[in-house]
Chains A and B, each alone.
Chain A
């Protein structure tokens, strides 16, 4: 795929999303003129982009949307739910086509038909053809208005008969000859032959079927043409249309070899345009330079003298001079690129400000680097070790702080606002709420919070799922809400904020809440837990059961949220990104899911621990606490150990045993314990010693070592020691 096409795919997606968001705003507040303009502009830009490639149906469909919006903008029609539905449908079709284009670089076979259907739907939503005061264009003849000026020129200013002839596919068998029929149209002003739909592959082409359609303009009256087409009345549409006069004399057609002539004529015309003194003076300056350049480009420098002379005189003389130049010899040099085609570049969109910061830091680093040769010279000259050490320390301090900032700046290049995953929610909630018949108000906040692109990519799905789940299972039908004394319109909140080096996303609803007892029953029924185990769970622990595979919270299984596989997948995705998910719920009041994610996956913040002389790391997002626990507080039951943390019994594991390392023989009164959240299951992990936190760049295990599933990767610490990042879930 060419870089240009890739760019097109990217931009089209963005435009379609922007259009969708604007449309939803517009539907909520039909008087929102900013939304109309945003939507219009997005479609307009999209139309322009599609026109760069050969995809006429796409261009036409978007054009129809643009027309409809123009009618809204000009107050000719009102924004109705029906019209919004049609436009959303159009955007959906567009989005599907863009997806297809990315894969196959062509529109689907039915694109033409789909585009036509969309156009028809829009027209219907607009209340039939929008007739303007001067008669307008009859249905089915929109193409007349879209004819390029050049093709319309012959009919300009006349009332003519427009002919739309769509021969039946099997017309040859009926003895029709559509082309011959069209040739016999009297006073033919224009004939366009188009394919009725996308061409099939050559091997499937049936030469005995007519797949063409004809569009024509004729100066003859409608009756005469009705007679001509009397054999095929069901396949032809005729209408009298007034072709508007061209506003000005048409610019001469710019055939390649007369572009210079046409341009010169246009410059002469520009000089005659009305305007203030300043405006005409500026135009004159621009025209003179353009004419000089055109002459130079044409190798007609000799004629420049005449121009300069005329430039001294009045405008009339200058106009005449330029007109003469336009008539003069105009030989365009053959066009041949001077420079080899530049290589297609891949673009990464980076905020200019961030790039600037990066540049500034690099410049600082270059300066700081300059102190090192100076220190080396000092060492050579035998300066005192103290002075040298002092100098090195200072240089290190400077470079260290710059490198730190540099690292931060580079990370920020990859940061994107969460609004990218928030924006699609508006549409999802609208559609889903409509389908379920539950009025819902979506409150989005914190969309400006930023996270790494990789994190955003992972976050999208779980977020959609949580929202869908909230709508489907959390929020009650309006009559139930009324009965419970709640406002009929439910509130669904999605908010994001930054929190100690990570990003928190919360999805909460004011619905029925999760029935912990029902979850317990389900867990027992599916065999995930025994009745005793289930009964022993705290309320919070019971809620977390919904993250187990195969547990659904709602008795009614709907097509929306699936069969409980979703919550398991949500947890999986969030944990893959190095984060965790929490749930809290109050029956009758609502449910809140909380996703805690690292800011980036490039640099992982690790809690480091020492065990048996080696350093191990755990992602900070999984660690909920660190504690020293006296031996007396550890309970033993057979082989299992446990400890009470915040009134909850937590299983106690020993890292040495998990890693098959020898037992810790040191004299000690207690254990250093790391509290880890393993997907809802808190675990207390005994280590030899707790160490500081560290930001590390994890390198995944490669080769044979990649099979060691218990390790997430390795990292080199600032002091050169090796850190092994553990994947605790795999170790257990």
Chain B
């Protein structure tokens, strides 16, 4: 049952690990989000440019183009500069969080992220009221 006035928010998940993408997709789709996947920074840029998602969830350490670079490039695009972005990485150091925010992230999670935290953050950043 799709709410016509309030279509499902679209989330672009950029991660080179297929398991992480599948996990994120499962968690978010169960909570009513639509999920697109991209496998590295370049792929993510292309997807984002083509579809202008409502939220980005970006891994940092990726082949071809890492998450920092991708986010920086994306923030230079007029249509994408304000799309809320969450960065996710296994690094728990404060300096990593800082680097993510500098690159343009709005929030930073350390892997693994609990499903409830992920959906709560995604709802807040896409402006979805508690869906019930």
List CB contacts (< 8 Å) of B57-86 with chain A. Answer: 59, 61, 63, 72, 75-76, 81-85
CB distance from B118 to the nearest CB of A (A): 11
Report the bound CA distance from A200 to B49 in whole Å: 53
Contact B83–A48 (Cβ < 8 Å): no
Contact B125–A293 (Cβ < 8 Å): yes
Known: A263-B121, A342-B29. Contact between A8 and B130, CB under 8 A?
Answer: no
Residue A722 lies at the interface, judged by CB distance under 8 Å to chain B: no
Known: A48-B90, A286-B82. Contact between A248 and B120, CB under 8 A?
Answer: no
Nearest residue (CB) in B for A288 is B82
CB neighbours (8 Å) of B131 from chain A are 336-338
Interface size class of B (residues with CB under 8 A): 35 or more
Contact B104–A250 (Cβ < 8 Å): no
Residue B97 lies at the interface, judged by CB distance under 8 Å to chain A: yes
Nearest residue (CB) in B for A152 is B92
Among candidates A278, A289, A342, residue contacting B30 with C-beta atoms closer than 8 Å: A342
Known: A248-B98, A259-B121. Contact between A7 and B19, CB under 8 A?
Answer: yes
Contact A337–B31 (Cβ < 8 Å): yes
Nearest residue (CB) in A for B20 is A48
Contact A290–B125 (Cβ < 8 Å): yes
Nearest residue (CB) in A for B28 is A342
CB distance from A219 to the nearest CB of B (A): 21
CB distance from B102 to the nearest CB of A (A): 6
CB neighbours (8 Å) of A44 from chain B are 61, 90
CB neighbours (8 Å) of B90 from chain A are 44, 47-48, 51
Contact A344–B19 (Cβ < 8 Å): no
Known: A52-B19, A333-B129. Contact between A286 and B85, CB under 8 A?
Answer: yes
Contact A337–B32 (Cβ < 8 Å): yes
Contact B92–A149 (Cβ < 8 Å): yes
CB neighbours (8 Å) of A275 from chain B are 102
Interface-centre pick from A259, A281, A293 (highest chain B CB count, 10 A): A293
Contact A256–B125 (Cβ < 8 Å): no
CB neighbours (8 Å) of A7 from chain B are 18-19, 22
Residue A254 lies at the interface, judged by CB distance under 8 Å to chain B: yes
Contact A148–B94 (Cβ < 8 Å): no
Contact A256–B116 (Cβ < 8 Å): yes
CB neighbours (8 Å) of A340 from chain B are 30
Known: A247-B94, A336-B131. Contact between A4 and B23, CB under 8 A?
Answer: yes
CB neighbours (8 Å) of A459 from chain B are none
Residue A282 lies at the interface, judged by CB distance under 8 Å to chain B: yes
Among candidates A148, A282, A292, residue contacting B76 with C-beta atoms closer than 8 Å: A282
Give the size of the chain A interface in residues (CB under 8 angstroms): 65
B99-128 Cβ-contact flags toward A at 8 Å (1 or 0): 001101011101110001101110111111
Which stretch in A179-187, A266-274, A474-482, A650-658 binds the other chain?
Answer: A266-274
CB distance from B66 to the nearest CB of A (A): 10
Report the bound CA distance from A293 to B120 in whole Å: 12
CB neighbours (8 Å) of A332 from chain B are 120, 130
B18-40 Cβ-contact flags toward A at 8 Å (1 or 0): 11101100100111100000000
Which stretch in A203-211, A294-302, A711-719 binds the other chain?
Answer: A294-302
CB distance from B111 to the nearest CB of A (A): 5
Contact B81–A285 (Cβ < 8 Å): yes
Contact B132–A297 (Cβ < 8 Å): no
List CB contacts (< 8 Å) of A240-291 with chain B. Answer: 246-248, 250-251, 254, 256, 259-260, 263, 266-267, 269-270, 273, 275, 278-279, 281-283, 285-290
CB distance from A35 to the nearest CB of B (A): 14
Report the bound CA distance from A364 to B25 in whole Å: 33
Residue A49 lies at the interface, judged by CB distance under 8 Å to chain B: yes
CB neighbours (8 Å) of A335 from chain B are 31, 116, 119-120, 123, 130
CB neighbours (8 Å) of A281 from chain B are 81
Contact B18–A293 (Cβ < 8 Å): no
Report the bound CA distance from A198 to B120 in whole Å: 33
Report the bound CA distance from A56 to B119 in whole Å: 24
Contact B130–A334 (Cβ < 8 Å): yes
Nearest residue (CB) in B for A264 is B124
CB neighbours (8 Å) of B63 from chain A are 41
CB neighbours (8 Å) of B61 from chain A are 41, 44-45
CB neighbours (8 Å) of B84 from chain A are 286, 289-290, 293
CB neighbours (8 Å) of B106 from chain A are 263, 266-267, 270, 286-287, 290
Contact A254–B32 (Cβ < 8 Å): no
Nearest residue (CB) in B for A292 is B127
Report the bound CA distance from A290 to B54 in whole Å: 10
Contact B18–A296 (Cβ < 8 Å): no
Contact B124–A297 (Cβ < 8 Å): yes
Residue A103 lies at the interface, judged by CB distance under 8 Å to chain B: no
Residue B93 lies at the interface, judged by CB distance under 8 Å to chain A: yes
Residue A11 lies at the interface, judged by CB distance under 8 Å to chain B: yes
Among candidates A52, A256, A293, residue contacting B126 with C-beta atoms closer than 8 Å: A293
Interface-centre pick from B16, B19, B120 (highest chain A CB count, 10 A): B19
Among candidates B32, B92, B104, residue contacting A338 with C-beta atoms closer than 8 Å: B32
Nearest residue (CB) in B for A148 is B92
Given A294-B125, A296-B127, A334-B132, 17 more pairs with CB closer than 8 A = A7-B18, A11-B18, A52-B20, A251-B97, A266-B101, A270-B101, A278-B76, A279-B102, A281-B81, A283-B104, A293-B126, A297-B123, A297-B126, A337-B31, A339-B30, A341-B26, A341-B30
A interface residue numbers (CB < 8 A to B): 3-4, 7-8, 10-12, 41, 44-45, 47-49, 51-52, 148-149, 246-248, 250-251, 254, 256, 259-260, 263, 266-267, 269-270, 273, 275, 278-279, 281-283, 285-290, 292-299, 332-342, 344, 347
B interface residue numbers (CB < 8 A to A): 1, 8, 16-20, 22-23, 26, 29-32, 59, 61, 63, 72, 75-76, 81-85, 90, 92-95, 97-98, 101-102, 104, 106-108, 110-112, 116-117, 119-121, 123-132
22 A-B interface contacts by CB (under 8 A): A4-B19, A7-B18, A7-B19, A45-B16, A48-B90, A49-B19, A52-B20, A148-B110, A248-B94, A263-B124, A273-B102, A283-B75, A286-B106, A289-B82, A293-B124, A297-B130, A332-B130, A333-B130, A337-B31, A337-B32, A341-B29, A342-B26
Q: Which 10 A-B pairs have the closest CB atoms?
A: A333-B130, A293-B127, A338-B131, A247-B94, A296-B127, A285-B82, A338-B32, A282-B75, A341-B30, A282-B81
